[in-house]
């Protein structure tokens, strides 16, 4: 495959969407491979425990290094990129998805509870590249949904995965702005008409209109994305 993906989780069944729809088709066509591993396979006690109480006190549990360490030794070779989802990570962006889509082998380590003992990441970083990444300023229950989001964003950029390669070149963020509204038939629906310019057949005019809509939407929803010389940029 062009890209090999391994995911470690204590809820492997949470990751079944990775085999559905376009991702499933990319697997069937040999463009990507996806292997999901159950972290508990690396436990040695009868209870198959993966967590313990935190040093320093406080609520919640922390995932144990003696389980994660040997698991990553087996699943994450030195030339893979280890991605660790965490709300305390650097923000995941479209440009990071583009970087990930050029890798050969990604390993995702899904935390639960209060996360993974930091030494697991520090130890892995002595032999392989590690990215601690957040998918947004909110807290999920586990890393599985964050992993699915990052895998989707990454895999759709690989050649041959989308039916139409041009479609991702026009998406939001690809030119730094949000994409404007889209319309399909019928021309009038519940009394709402499709903007006349889109039915004009004048491609230059349509392009200009789309760019203006894109700017206006970005200005009102995400002024932080506007280039520095654009009006509406926050101070
Ligand atoms: N104690 C952690 C903190 O405050 O930074 C929160 C841990 S969270 C309850 C449990 C797991 O969910 C994390 O280890 C991570 O795998 C995942 N997670 C939660 N929010 C996330 C986000 N915004 N981005 C990526 N992963 C997230």
Q: What is the pLDDT of residues 82-97, one digit of tens each?
A: 999 999 999 999 999 9
User: What pTM does this model have?
Assistant: 0.95
- Region 201-218: what's the mean pLDDT? 98
Pocket test for ligand 1, best of 11, 87, 114 (most atoms within 8 A of CB): 87
Instruction: With a cut of 60, say whether residue 235 has pLDDT above it.
Output: no
User: pLDDT for 65-83, tens place per residue?
Assistant: 999 999 999 999 999 999 9
- Region 101-110: what's the mean pLDDT? 98
Least confident segment among 119-123, 206-210, 219-223, 224-228: 224-228
Catalytic annotation on 171?
A: yes
Q: Which of 19, 25, 40, 156 is catalytic?
A: 156
Q: CA 133, CA 235: separation in Å to the nearest integer?
A: 27
Please give the pLDDT value at position 234.
62
Burial of 161 (0-12, 13-18, 19+ CB in 10 A): buried
First to last CA, the chain: 46
Please give the pLDDT value at position 171.
85
138 CA closest ligand 1 atom index: 23
- Please give all residues whose beta carbon lies within 6 A of any atom in ligand 1, as ranges: 85-88, 110-112, 114-115, 134-136, 138-143, 146
Q: Are 165 and 158 in contact (CB under 8 A)?
A: no
Reported confidence tier of residue 233, pLDDT bands at 50, 70, 90: low
Mean pLDDT score across all residues of the chain: 95
Q: CA 92, CA 232: separation in Å to the nearest integer?
A: 25
User: pLDDT for 129-187, tens place per residue?
Assistant: 999 999 999 999 999 999 999 999 999 999 999 987 767 777 888 889 999 999 999 99
Catalytic annotation on 87?
A: yes
Q: Whose CA is nearest to atom 9 of ligand 1?
A: 141
Phi and psi of 7, rounded to 5°?
A: -130, 135
């Amino acid at each position: 495959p062009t890209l090999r993906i391994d995911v470690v989780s204590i809820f492997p069944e949470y990751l079944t969407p990775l085999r559905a729809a376009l991702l499933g088709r990319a697997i069937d066509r040999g463009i990507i491979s996806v292997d999901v591993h159950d972290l508990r396979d690396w436990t040695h006690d009868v209870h198959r425990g993966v967590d313990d109480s935190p040093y320093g006190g406080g609520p919640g549990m922390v995932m144990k290094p003696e389980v994660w360490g040997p698991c990553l030794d087996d699943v994450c070779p030195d030339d893979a990129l280890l991605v660790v989802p965490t709300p305390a990570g650097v923000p995941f962006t479209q440009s990071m998805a583009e970087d990930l889509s050029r890798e050969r082998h990604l390993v995702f380590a899904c935390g639960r509870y209060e996360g993974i003992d930091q030494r697991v990441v520090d130890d892995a970083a002595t032999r392989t590249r590690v990215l601690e990444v957040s998918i947004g300023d909110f807290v999920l229950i586990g890393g599985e949904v964050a992993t699915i989001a990052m895998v989707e964003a990454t895999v759709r950029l690989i050649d041959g995965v989308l039916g139409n390669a041009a479609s991702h070149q026009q998406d939001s963020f690809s030119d730094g702005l949000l994409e404007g509204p889209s319309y399909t038939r019928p021309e009038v629906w519940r009394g709402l008409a499709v903007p006349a310019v889109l039915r004009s057949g004048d491609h230059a005019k349509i392009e200009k209109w789309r760019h203006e809509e894109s700017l206006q939407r970005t200005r009102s929803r995400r002024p932080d994305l506007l280039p520095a010389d654009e009006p509406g940029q926050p101070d």
